[in-house]
Amino acid sequence: MVPLSYYLVLSGILFACGVTGFLIKRNIIAIFMSIELMLNGVNLSFVAFAAHWHVLAGQIFVFFVMVVAAAEAAVGLAIIIAIYRTRETLNIDQVNLLKL
């Protein structure tokens, strides 16, 4: 049996990777992926706690997070495509104005 702390450390590393990627990446799609990474890092700690304490709530919460993440992906990618069509770039530093 793998101890709980292993899962949590891995979850923390995943989340930290996500945060770092979110902060340093310039490409919007890369930022998007970093967000997903953060979500999944959190998901991992959820299921780890759920298994450890034998409480189903954590697992069910993960399903919710996944559903939201899927919806987010759908909407977010649509927005990214729209941005690319108007600005012809995906560099986040060049998308700092709400209107052109």
Binding residues (CB under 8 A) for other proteins: these are 19, 22-23, 92-93, 95-97
- In whole angstroms, how close is the CB of 93 to other proteins at the nearest point? 7
With respect to other proteins, which residue has the nearer C-beta, 59 or 80?
80
Q: Which is nearer to other proteins, 47 or 92 (CB)?
A: 92
Contacts of 91-95 with C-beta under 8 Å, sequence gap 24+, read 91/26, 91/27, 91/28, 92/25, 92/26, 92/27, 92/28, 92/31, 93/26, 95/28
Nearer to other proteins, 24 or 60 (CB): 24
Number of H helices, E strands in the chain: 3, 0
Least Å distance, CB 5 to other proteins, is: 15
